[in-house]
Structure 1
Amino acid sequence: MPGKKITDHQVNKYKQHRNTLSQVAAAAKSAISERSARRIDQSDTLPSQQPARGWRTRQDPLALAWEAEIVPLLRTDVQLNAVTLLEELQRRHPGEYDRGVLRTLQRRMRQWRAVHGAERDIYFAQEHPPGRLALSDFTVCDALGVQIDGVPFAHRLYQFALAHSGWRHAVVVVGGESFIALSTGLQAALWALGGVPEEHRTDSLSAAFNNLAEEQELTRRYADLCRHYAMRASRCNPGQSHENGSIESRNDSLKTALDQALRLRGSRSFEHHAAYDAFVATIVQRLNARVTKRLAVERVMLRPLPARRTSEYEERPARVSKYAVFTVKGVQYSAPSQLIGHRVMVRLYAQHIECWFGGQCVHSRPRAAPAPGERHARDIDYRHLVAALKRKPGAFARAVLRDAVFPRAVYRQTWERLAARVPERDACRTMVGLLALAADGHEAQLANELEQLIEIDQLPDLLALTGLLAPPKGQVPEVVVMLPALAGYDTLIEGVL
C-alpha cells in the first residue's frame, strides 16, 4: 500500500513462507507486493536496519518558506492555522504558492506542533465510588420542537444524576434557570431516590443571577439548601464544562432519547403541560431501568433523608390594583376583584404561584413566562373580569388588557370579525356575552361552535348560542300531596282483624 512501510515482522513472515511457498504466494500471505518480495530476496537486512532515506520522490513546495517564514510565525503564535499562513505566503510571494499547497502545509504544521507545539490539557479519567457524587444541570430543549396545544413550547430540563450508577431524574422547567427551579428539581430527585449523596456538583450557575447582589443571595440560599440535606456543595470552574462531564453527556443522551421517542410517537404536540411532564417521566424511567443493578449497590451507600423538605418557593409582596391585576417579577397576573386594594404575599414556585392573604391561600395560577420575542409576560384570566365587563361592556373595545383576555385564539378571531362588521357597541355586547358564556363552563364547546361559524363565514348569534349551550331551566310543576286522616288507618286495621 502506498505510504505504508514494510515492517520487520512482515519480512520475517515472508521468509518463513518462502521456505515452502512460491514468491507470489509468500508475498500474498505476508501482505506485501511481488516487487517488494523481489527486493527482500536481494537484501540481507531488515527494514529497521536500513539507513534513513535522504532523497525525495518530488520537490518540496515549501522548501524555501518553511524554516525562513512559516516556523517563525508559528513560534510567535501557535494558534495560526494553515489557511492564514498560506494566504500570507501568497501576499508575500505573488504567483508562487497556489491552493494545492494547503494540504501539504497542514500536514507539515501538524507534525511540527506534535514536536514543538504548546503543551495541551490532559484529561484525567475519574473513578466515582457509590454514594459519593451527584451532579445536576439545566439544558435547553427548544430543538425538540415540542408543542403544547399547538403552540411551540420553549422549555428547559433540569436533570439530576448519580455519577456512579447513572440513575437520573428530570423535571421540565418553563422559563430560565433560577434557584426555585434548582431547589424544586433537586428536592424532587432526592426524595424520588430515597437518599442523599455525599456531594452535589453544579456548574457556575451564572445564568441564574443578573448582578452581584443576586449572586450573593443565590449562593447563600444554595448553601442553606445543601446544609439542610447534609450535602457538600461544589461547582466546576466557569467555562470548563468537561469538569461537569458526567451530567453534560447525560444531557445529550436524554435529549436523544426524547427525540427518538417523539419520532416513534409520530407527533410532537401534547394537549397540556401535564401530558408532556408524564412523557418525560416515562422516558427517564426507561433509561433508569438500564442501571437497576448499579443503583442497588449505590442506594445502600446513600445518607438518609431529613425529616421534611425545605421550602420550594420564593415569597414576594404584591398589591392588587384597581384593575384587578398585580405584578410580581415583571409578570402581570389577574386576581379576583374581591382582592382589589389588598396586599397579598405571593409564593413563587417553579411551575405555579400562590397568593396568600390572612394566613390562607386565596388565589393560585400557573406561573407565566414571556413568549419568544416578548419582554414581559401576562397571565390574565377572563373569569376575573367578565362580571365587571357585563356591567360595562363598552369598556372592552379599548381595554389595555383586551388582547390578553381571550382564552383561545378562536375568541380573538371572533372579536376581530365582530369589530370589522358590526357597530362597536354591538360588537362589545356580543363579545362580552360570549366570554360570560365561556366562563359558565362552556369554553371548549363554545370554541368549537365559533370555529364552525368562522368556516362558514357567519357572525355568532349570542341568543342562539346561549340557547344551544345553556338552555333555560324548565319550571318544575308544583305538586300538592294530600295526606289522609290517621283515623282511617284504624278502620283498616279493624277490618283485617
Structure 2
Amino acid sequence: MRRTLERRVNSWRALHGPERDVIFRQTPEPGRMALSDFTDVSELEITIAGQTLDHRLFHFVLAYSGWEHAAVVLGGESFTALAENLQNALWTLGGVPGEHRTDSLSAAYRNLDKDAAADVTRRYEAFCAHYGMIASRNNPGEAHENGAVESHNNHLKTALDQALILRGSRDFVALSDWRRFVDELVARRNRRREAVVSIEMATLRSLPARRTTDFTEMVVRVTRSGGFRVHGVFYSAPSQLIGKRLRIHIYDDRIEAFLGATSVASHPRLRQGNDGIRLHSVNYHHVIHALRRKPQALAGSVYREDLFPRSEYADAWAALSAALPRKDACRRMVGLLCLAHDDGCEGELATLITAALAERELPDAQEFKSRLQRRNTALPCDTPVILTSLVSFDALLEARP
C-alpha cells in the first residue's frame, strides 16, 4: 500500500507539482570567462620524504579553450592563496579574460566576522578591477555554475594519478619536486590545446603594467627573543632588528619581513595546529652571534631543535649530549654551528658529521675545520685577456644583406 501511495504521489507531483529549476547549458565564448577552484587531492596520497603532505590544488581554467594552470596550496582556501595563484596563472597565460568566476569562497570566509568577510570581498573585487576582469561567484550549493572547472578538476586528478602510477612512487624528496611534477603534467596537457588556445589568446586583453597585492599584511615588533609572532608561530629575525617594527607580507607558503622597503627575513610559512604545540621557524644565522657568547643557552632553548639547519646537526647534538657533560656538549654543538655559519660550509660539514657518527666518533669543529677544503677567494691576476678587434664588427655589419 505504501509503495502504491508513493507512486501516485510522485505521479501527481510530476503533473501538478511546482515548477522546478532548469539548468541552461552555455556555449563558451573565446576570452570571456575563466574559472578558479580549490580541489582536494588527498586521494593521491602524496608524501614528501615519507611524510604525508596535507594540501590541495588551486586550479584555473579558461572556459573556451580549457587552458589550465594548477598550483600546490599548503593551507586552506583563503584570499591569499586565491590572489597569489590566480595572479601567477594570468601572468603565465599572458592575457586577461573578461570575467573571473570562483565558488562562493565560503572556506575563505569561515571563522571570519562580518567586517573581515566584507574586507575579503572588497579585496577580491579590487584585485579583479586591477586586471579589468568582472568578479563573479556562483551561488552557494550550485556547483554546476562552476562546472567548467569542476569537471576539469576530476580530469586533472585522474591524469595526475595515472602519471604517478607510471612514475612508480608517490613519494617526493622535496615539495619543489612535487610542484615541478604538477607543472610538467599541466604543461603537457596544455600543449594538446595549442590550436584552440591560439584562437582565445587573440581575444584576451593585455596584462596591466605591474602585478598587484596578493598577500596579507601585518605589522609586528621584533622581541628580545630575537623574533616575532605571526598567527601564533614564532619566526626569527636578525638580532640587530630587536625592538624594530617590521611589515610582514603573508603568502600561502611563506612570509617575508621588511624594514621599510628593505627585505630583512624570509621563512617558510608554518600553521599552528590545535594540539597546543608551539611552532618555531628559526634561522640559525640570525642568532648564532648571540649563541656564540652564550653557548649554554642552547640546551634549554625552546626552539633548540629548530636551530639545526639539517637533520645531521640534530644527530650530532643527540650524540654529544649523550656522551658529554651538558656544558661541553653545548660548546661543541655551538662550535659546529659557528663553523657552518662562518665558512659557509653547511652541506660539507653535514657530510663530515655523518661520517664521524658512522665511525662512532664525536663531531669536533676544530678537527673538521682542518679537513674542510679552503675556498680560494682570491681573483686570478695572471689570466690573459684578449680583446676582440673592432674590425670584426665592421665585417659583420658589411655582411648584412
Equivalence for 1:283: 185
Deviation at 1:321, TM superposition (A): 0.6
Deviation at 1:372, TM superposition (A): 9.7
In the alignment, is residue 468 of structure 1 matched against residue 371 of structure 2? yes
Q: Matches of residues 94-173 of structure 1 in structure 2 within 5 Å?
A: 115=11, 123-173=23-73
Equivalence for 1:317: 219
Q: Aligned to 1:389, which of 283, 291, 295?
A: 291
Alpha-carbon distance in 1 for matches of 2:12, 2:361: 80
Alpha-carbon distance in 2 for matches of 1:121, 1:453: 73
In the alignment, is residue 196 of structure 1 matched against residue 120 of structure 2? no
Q: Aligned to 1:335, which of 217, 237, 244?
A: 237
Q: Matches of residues 342-357 of structure 1 in structure 2 within 5 Å?
A: 342-357=244-259
Alpha-carbon distance in 2 for matches of 1:138, 1:152: 19
SS at match of 1:446: helix
Contact 2:247/2:260, CA 8 A, preserved across alignment: no
Equivalence for 2:266: 364
Alpha-carbon distance in 1 for matches of 2:128, 2:374: 58
CA offset digits 1:44-92 (Å, max 9, x no partner): xxxxxxxxxxxxxxxxxxxxxxx1x5556x5xxxxxxxxxxxxxxxxxx
Under a length normalisation based on structure 1, what TM-score does the superposition of the two structures give? 0.68
Alpha-carbon distance in 2 for matches of 1:129, 1:331: 46
Contact 2:160/2:185, CA 8 A, preserved across alignment: yes
Alpha-carbon distance in 2 for matches of 1:267, 1:441: 34
Alpha-carbon distance in 2 for matches of 1:393, 1:242: 61
Q: Aligned to 1:260, which of 162, 173, 186?
A: 162
Under a length normalisation based on structure 2, what TM-score does the superposition of the two structures give? 0.83
Evaluate the alpha carbon distance shift between residue 280 and residue 371 of structure 1 in structure 2; reply closer, same or farther with a 3 A threshold: farther
Higher relative contact order (Cα pairs below 8 Å, separated by 6+ residues): 2
Query: Greater CA radius of gyration, 1 or 2?
Result: 1
Equivalence for 1:434: 336
Q: Aligned to 2:147, which of 242, 245, 253?
A: 245
Contact 1:174/1:369, CA 8 A, preserved across alignment: no
SS at match of 2:149: helix
SS at match of 1:393: coil
Evaluate the alpha carbon distance shift between residue 316 and residue 71 of structure 1 in structure 2; reply closer, same or farther with a 3 A threshold: same
Bigger drift between 444-453 and 426-435 goes to 444-453
Alpha-carbon distance in 1 for matches of 2:186, 2:369: 47
Alignment size in residue pairs = 369
Evaluate the alpha carbon distance shift between residue 423 and residue 304 of structure 1 in structure 2; reply closer, same or farther with a 3 A threshold: same
Equivalence for 2:387: none
Evaluate the alpha carbon distance shift between residue 206 and residue 295 of structure 1 in structure 2; reply closer, same or farther with a 3 A threshold: same
Amino acid at match of 1:177: E
Alpha-carbon distance in 2 for matches of 1:281, 1:149: 20
Contact 2:336/2:364, CA 8 A, preserved across alignment: no
Deviation at 1:195, TM superposition (A): 2.1
Deviation at 1:460, TM superposition (A): 2.3
Deviation at 1:231, TM superposition (A): 1.4
CA offset digits 1:131-154 (Å, max 9, x no partner): 222100112334433344554333
Deviation at 1:371, TM superposition (A): 7.4
Equivalence for 1:421: 323
Q: Aligned to 2:303, which of 401, 422, 444?
A: 401
Deviation at 1:113, TM superposition (A): 8.2
SS at match of 2:97: coil
Deviation at 1:397, TM superposition (A): 0.8
Evaluate the alpha carbon distance shift between residue 342 and residue 172 of structure 1 in structure 2; reply closer, same or farther with a 3 A threshold: same
Alpha-carbon distance in 2 for matches of 1:292, 1:445: 46
Evaluate the alpha carbon distance shift between residue 358 and residue 229 of structure 1 in structure 2; reply closer, same or farther with a 3 A threshold: closer
Alpha-carbon distance in 2 for matches of 1:337, 1:206: 41
Deviation at 1:335, TM superposition (A): 0.5
In the alignment, is residue 450 of structure 1 matched against residue 350 of structure 2? no
Q: Aligned to 1:174, which of 74, 79, 99?
A: 74
Contact 1:135/1:200, CA 8 A, preserved across alignment: yes
